[in-house]
Amino acid sequence: MTTRADKRRAFFDFGDRIRVLPVVHGSADFALAVREELLANHYDCLAVPLPASFEPAVMDAVALLPQVSMVVQTMDDEGQTASHVPIDPCQPVIRGLRMAQAERKAIAFIDLEHREVEGAEGYYPDAFALKGLAPDKFAAAVLSVSEPPAAESLRDRRCRHMAFQLGKLSLDFERILFLPSIADWPFIRDAFVRRLPYPEEVPYFAPIHCWPVAKEGLFFYLAELPFITALYEKVRFGIEDERSMSVDGVKELVLESRDRLVRRKASARRRISIKTMGIYLQYVRNLTLLSRRLRPELVTLLEAAKQVCGDDFAITMLEVAREYPFGTDDPDTPRARASIDSAELPELGTVEITSRLPGAELEWRSIDLRREPDEPERKRWKQVWNPHEQCSYPPEDRRIESFNLHVREQAKSLISNDLARSEKFTSSLKDGLDIRETLRNWHTKDLYVREVPPARGSLEIVVFLFDVPAEANMY
């Protein structure tokens, strides 16, 4: 009797020996799906959609992880354009190669040798849905919008070539796991089932280079944020569960940003309180749902941080998000400096790059953040300040503003104290122990706690009355 689980697994089977797991390149959630598939089932060969000429350089770079590298091949004789394979820990294909290399499984690079790369990115559902959705259901949802390749196009020839290579591998191995793009796998399956003729490879020579990626460019190169990618690497060597890192990583980013801002500016602790953080997270959730996503993007986090907690918190979060502790800092080591769709390469100069593992379409957006002046700028401002032209003096302004903030907070606390009430302690201390009420009822041996509700309304204007000269007898 065939169960529903068996039917779901047969959905991805090419015969009895080939199992296909379609992935969205650049998705950490699909990288975890690859990990779970390799741990749950036995495979003696892993097939990936990359040309065989890339195998030596890619496998050498995978062995250097968590250092991020770029494997590059030029696409023209002038060296102005190039294709690359991102050696990123959160890439599903790289995650599979890393595990297969560690377990000494056979690895096959089965893509067509081609110099030109289309690099067609697509729009896919949020991969966070894999937390509660089987990969076959995710692939079935994308299947309805997948466009077939044009006849004799590069994509069509690649699909037919990979189908032929899978047939050859099935003669030598019992269980094969193939990790194609989620946009290509139905057409590879069609070519495999129908035994379509495979294209002949056109021999060509183009050197393949491998360089580590400079840390300042990882923000534009990695699939996930560098900070979250580093958390995946740390969890990988620990005992924590990787499956929750896509959400816990965002929480770690927010908390680390707050702690760093508080260490840099002690007054921020009062402004970015626990209540403020709760409002911020709720605002992030609402913005994420409005953008039709299940997990917030960096621009969503920054916009909410700017509007709820200020520009300084958003700038600190951006600085934390760019950090990646792994890799070399040796200035003498040649490194590739990545940017948006381009890179500065040690031997080739600045070239346009196209990924051989294209994932979801990215949209780059700008956000206006104003940073506070640093110490040299403040000193320069003091030197050029003319008291006869301006009616502002920063040291005095800071004292007035801090006193204004103190008066506002004291006024709010006085309003809240009028609404406070005491009750017997049962299970929660609420806003603290009420010493006066506890001592008053000491004979009953009961503890009383105090509950202070938030003040209703807000303070709009604070008026200060200065009496000059101030008389000591009156005040």
Q: Which residues pair with 83 in a beta bridge?
A: 73, 354
- Residue 165 CB neighbour total at 10 angstroms: 21
Please give the full DSSP string across 271-287, using - where no structure is assigned. Answer: HS-HHHHHHHHHHHHHH
- Measured over the CA atoms of residue 9, residue 12, residue 14 and residue 20, the dihedral's sign is negative
**What does DSSP assign to residue 198?**
P
**What does DSSP assign to residue 150?**
P
pLDDT in single tens digits along all 475 residues of the chain: 455 555 555 677 888 889 999 999 988 889 999 999 999 989 999 999 999 989 999 999 999 988 999 999 887 777 688 889 999 999 999 999 999 999 999 999 999 888 778 766 677 888 888 888 888 888 888 887 788 888 888 888 989 999 999 989 988 899 999 999 888 888 988 888 888 888 877 777 788 889 999 988 888 899 889 999 999 988 887 777 778 888 888 999 999 999 999 988 887 888 888 888 889 999 999 999 998 888 898 899 999 999 988 888 999 999 999 999 988 777 778 888 998 888 888 888 888 888 888 888 888 888 888 887 777 887 887 777 766 666 666 777 788 888 888 888 888 777 777 778 888 888 888 888 888 888 888 888 889 998 877 777 777 788 877 777 777 677 6
Distance CA 48, CA 178 (A): 6
**What does DSSP assign to residue 360?**
B
Distance CA 183, CA 299 (A): 27
Q: Which residues pair with 47 in a beta bridge?
A: 108, 178
Q: pTM score, two decimals?
A: 0.76
**What does DSSP assign to residue 163?**
H
Distance CA 240, CA 295 (A): 20
- Residue 71 CB neighbour total at 10 angstroms: 23
| Structure-token pair, residue 193 | 């089932």
157: left (phi over 0), alpha (psi -120 to 50) or beta: alpha
In residues, how long is the chain? 475
* 121: phi then psi, degrees, rounded to nearest 5: -90, 155
Closest CA to 128 of 29, 31, 37, 222: 29
Helix (H, G, I), strand (E, B) or coil at 227: helix
- Residue 89 CB neighbour total at 10 angstroms: 23
SS (H, E, C) 449-463: EEECCCCCCCCCCCC
Distance CA 112, CA 156 (A): 11
Question: What is the pLDDT, as a whole number, of residue 60?
Answer: 93
Please give the radius of gyration of the chain, using alpha carbons only, rounded to the nearest integer. 30
In the chain, domain spans:
4-222, 226-321
